[in-house]
Amino acid sequence: MNHAQLTALGRALRLLGEHGEALTGDTPDAKLHEVKADLRRALDLLDESVAGAAPSTRCAEHPNGPVDEAAPDLCLLCETRRRAARRSEFNGAYGPQSRPAEAPTPSPSRYGTSADRPRPQQRWLPELWNGREWQLCGTPRRDRREAELYIAAQRRGSRPAMAYRLVHEFTDYEVLRVWGTPVQVDIEPMGNL
């Protein structure tokens, strides 16, 4: 639709709106014939400005695609895609999956397959000294900086421990950093007398 068609169609529709507001129960027939002529003029302008065919579906992707009456958007192409997705959720409930006649078998590797070897996990364990031993405080972290920030927040808290340390757990344990000095504390009062 070009600008001239758009302007003419807008003007005709505004005129029809004015006719609609002016209608009453005792409107004369001459006025109704004038409304009818303006309506035909607006329809003719609309027919001239529409270039393509009317969409057969409510689908934005395939407006003129094939129609499936059972689909919510009437689009056969999109409904076929949705049905295939639903079928794959049932893992072969609708029959065997189509596979090639001879699927190549993977050749054995001297390193094994990746499923045979677990991937190494690395964690940073924040620990505190409770007077007798190191114990885990908080949850193990996957990020070292996050673990150090957690320990710094614990040290600034209302009841900090005597010492904290950060242990790196990979294939072995390695103490990375210690805050404070751990001192052995006898838990019995008066030296266990």
Parse the chain into domains and list their residue ranges. 3-21+28-49, 55-93, 123-180
Model confidence over 81-120: pLDDT tens digits? 888 877 777 655 555 555 555 666 666 666 655 555 556 6
Tokens standing for 45?
Answer: 């302008």
Tokens standing for 179?
Answer: 């805050």
Does pTM top 0.75 for this prediction?
A: no
Query: For residue 20, is pLDDT > 60?
Result: yes
Burial label, 134 (beta-carbon count in 10 A; 0-12, 13-18, 19+): middle
Model confidence over 156-189: pLDDT tens digits? 999 899 999 999 887 666 787 888 888 887 777 6
Reduce the secondary structure of the chain to three states and give it as a string.
CCHHHHHHHHHHHHHHHHHHHHCCCCCCHHHHHHHHHHHHHHHHHHHHHCCCCCCCCCCCCCCCCCECCCCCCCEHHHHHHHHHHHHHHCCCCCCCCCCCCCCCCCCCCCCCCCCCCCCCCCEEEEEEECCCCEEECCCCECCHHHHHHHHHHHHHCCCCCCEEEEEEECCCEEEEEEEECCCCCCCCHHHHC
pLDDT band for position 146 (cuts 50, 70, 90): very high
